[in-house]
Amino acid sequence: MGSTMEVVLPSDLKRSANLAKRRHADLCRQERLFNARNRIIGGDIEAWNFQLRDQKIKEATEKLDMTLLVTAEMRHNDKIMCILEERERKDKKNLCRAINDFQQRFQKPETRREFDLSDPLSLKKDIPARQSDNDIRNTVSGMQKFMGEDLNFYERKKFQEEQNREWSFQQQRERRNARAVQKCAENLYTETMLQFDETARHLQKLESATKKAVCAAVKEFNKNQAMESAARKKQEKKQEEEDNLAEISSLLHGSLLSENPQQAASSFGPHHVILDRWKGMTQEQLEQIRLVQKQQVQEKLRLQEEEYQRDMDWDRRRIQGARANLLLERQQLRQQRDLRRALDSSNLSLAREQCLQKKYMNEVSRSQPTEDYFKQFNSRGR
């Protein structure tokens, strides 16, 4: 039995996402429109503003903390990168030096296999084409030696074996030398890495010692400041006590406690006195004050009488206005009653006509709208 599999394309996923997004937006709109409380009364704007402000403060604090953390991390990473770059530079320099030394020692031009092709002294070193019948350079193409005339077969074979052995020994020596050079380079790299680590630890110790010295200096400075502040406060307290004693002595021997009436006289005129030295008014001043109080009482009675007459006038006018408003309201009520009667009569006639029209439509038309037809209205956000 073969099973069918649905292939979901990216366009189908995008279309489904858009459809779900529109449905969610429509549901949110319906919730806003059909909720009478939110539509008429509205939300708590002040609470929302407080929440928004708290959210912004929280985001700003988190952003500042994240910025400080990222800055410290970047500074630490930059320091590590500088140390690693310096270490890599020195490693490359040592590796290049080791490679150059190896080339100068073991890869000289005269040790190459093809050096004879580019040797400038090749003509001086060259030998004749043939020196004897046993010359190893007598090849088949040279027409110096033919098949069946190989008289030095055993010597040549022995020489080839010796040559192969020598080549094998040479290759072994080259491999050992290469391994020794590689091991030397690895040891040099390890020593360099250990030296870098030791330098980093030394720098960290120096930084820690510097921080401790700075903290000790700050602590000593704060201690000196505290001692100076305590001495200054002690001196100020002593000076304040001396000033208080001088003030008490001045008050005891001054004219304030002796109740001298002239001490309250002010330099601004006879009607001005110094309040902290004044001992009271004279009998003439008291009589003058009582006279002014009687005049004020009479003036107040006169103003109260005028205010009473003015209130009576306003009350009379208010009663007349209320009576006129009452008559006007009664007239409006009669007019509204007449309008309501006319409207009720018109509505009754319209209801009779609608009832006759509905009965006629029921007799003429067979398909009448059901309750579901009216329920579909006002059910969506648009």
* Helix H or strand E encompassing 207: helix 153-253
What's the rounded Cα separation, in Å, for the pair 100 and 92? 12
Stronger pLDDT, 363 or 279, i.e. the higher one:
363
Tell me how crowded residue 215 is: count the other CB atoms within 10 A of its CB. Answer: 10
Report percent pLDDT > 70 for the chain: 78
Mean pLDDT confidence for 319-341 = 92
User: What is the 3 state secondary structure string of 314-362?
Assistant: HHHHHHHHHHHHHHHHHHHHHHHHHHHHHHHHHHHHHHHHHHHHHHHHH
Mean pLDDT confidence for 41-68 = 81
At 227-249, the pLDDT tens digits run 988 898 999 998 888 888 888 87
What's the rounded Cα separation, in Å, for the pair 105 and 329? 128
At 249-304, the pLDDT tens digits run 776 666 556 556 666 666 676 667 666 666 667 777 788 888 999 999 999 999 99
Angle subtended by helix axes 45-106 and 153-253, to nearest 10: 140
Residue 88 pLDDT exceeds 90: yes
Confidence band of 2 (pLDDT split at 50, 70, 90):
very low
Confidence band of 4 (pLDDT split at 50, 70, 90):
very low
> pTM here?
0.23
Q: Which residue has the tokens 């020794």?
A: 180
Write down the H helix ranges in 35-114: 36, 45-106
Q: What are the phi and psi torsion angles at 271 (to 5°)?
A: -85, 0
Q: Which amino acid is at 173?
A: R
Confidence band of 357 (pLDDT split at 50, 70, 90):
confident
Mean pLDDT confidence for 153-176 = 89
